[in-house]
Amino acid sequence: MKRLVVAFSFLAAALVSASAADAVDVCSYTVTGALGFLCPVVTGNTVCLSKSAATGNCDVPLRCVARLNSFCLTSLEPKSGPSQKCAFASKRPPGLQCFQPPRPRPTPTVIAGTTVNVTLVEFSVTPDQATAPPGHVTFHVTNNGEDMHEFLVIKTDLAPDMLPTETNGSYEEDGPGTDLLDEIELIPSGESRDLGIDLEAGHYVLICNMVHQEEDELEVHYQLGMRTSFTVE
């Protein structure tokens, strides 16, 4: 999923106060950190969120990304459990996407298959092998660049530079002739993420679909070369 990013600054959005109208399964959180430029919330604000699979049951801290014309990273602490109404004067910034941060987990059961190490930098996607046998493939993706990146696995017979695009030049997700199978949405600079996926024989394209606003210049990572072929055979 593409992201709109401002280098060293974070997403700006208009502040929208939540109304007292009835809602369904909403949760209140306290903003404990907001890093960016013109963030839609500030430390100490109360934020009202609708429950989702990504945020859980209102009982764990969250990290959020705001995405409207710029970029903002926010941390939230739970304030109350599920409710039918947003708390008075709470904020519901449009475009705020929240998720639970990774938790330490026991060592998982090893799944037989192939591990492919992928390096992301400005502006390339480089796997340590271009092919893998059919079955379970684990992409171990490391962001060695300075920008935020993401990682998409697309099944397609098209060449990497011929994917359908949006008007800004980014990849049109699930556009004609393509099937977006899975993705890692946000990989901060210097960090790694794993994506395990079962792949059948065929042709695939691996890309970063981030859209990055650098002052007056729009950097579309897909168009700048963050794409490569991958074959399962």
- Are 48 and 87 in contact by the 8 Å Cβ rule? The answer is yes
Q: Is the pLDDT of residue 140 over 50?
A: yes
Q: What is the mean pLDDT of residues 80-104?
A: 81
Band the pLDDT of 107: cuts 50, 70, 90.
low
Q: Is the pLDDT of residue 8 over 50?
A: no
**Same domain for 41 and 132:** no
Stated as kind and residue range, the H or E segment containing 125 is strand 124-127
On whether residue 80 sits in a domain, the answer given is yes
- C-alpha torsion sign, points 93, 99, 100, 104: negative
Q: Is the pLDDT of residue 96 over 60?
A: yes
**What integer best gives the mean pLDDT of the chain?**
84
pLDDT at 121: 96
- The runs of H, that is alpha helices, within 8-59 are none
pLDDT digit string, tens, across residues 20-67: 334 457 889 999 998 887 788 899 999 998 887 777 788 889 888 876
**Same domain for 118 and 93:** no
On whether residue 104 sits in a domain, the answer given is no
∠ at Cα 112 (136, 131), nearest 5°?
Answer: 45
pLDDT at 15: 33
Q: Is the pLDDT of residue 70 over 90?
A: no
**Same domain for 136 and 55:** no
**Same domain for 120 and 82:** no
Beta carbons within 8 Å of 109's beta carbon, 6+ residues apart:
none
Band the pLDDT of 227: cuts 50, 70, 90.
very high
Total structural domains in the chain? 2
Q: CA 93 to CA 147: how far, in whole Å?
A: 24
**Same domain for 121 and 194:** yes
**Same domain for 225 and 146:** yes
Beta carbons within 8 Å of 105's beta carbon, 6+ residues apart:
none
**Same domain for 169 and 74:** no
- Are 63 and 74 in contact by the 8 Å Cβ rule? The answer is yes
**Same domain for 226 and 178:** yes
Q: Is the pLDDT of residue 14 over 80?
A: no
Band the pLDDT of 162: cuts 50, 70, 90.
very high
**Same domain for 131 and 221:** yes
Which one is predicted more confidently, 84 or 29? 29
pTM reported for the whole predicted model: 0.58
On whether residue 33 sits in a domain, the answer given is yes
pLDDT at 6: 41
**Same domain for 213 and 121:** yes
On whether residue 105 sits in a domain, the answer given is no
**Same domain for 131 and 95:** no
Residue range(s) defining the domain that contains residue 156: 114-232
Quote the percentage of the chain above a pLDDT of 90. 51
Least confident range from 96-110, 169-183, 201-215: namely 96-110
**Same domain for 118 and 94:** no
Band the pLDDT of 222: cuts 50, 70, 90.
very high
Q: Is the pLDDT of residue 191 over 90?
A: yes
Band the pLDDT of 19: cuts 50, 70, 90.
very low
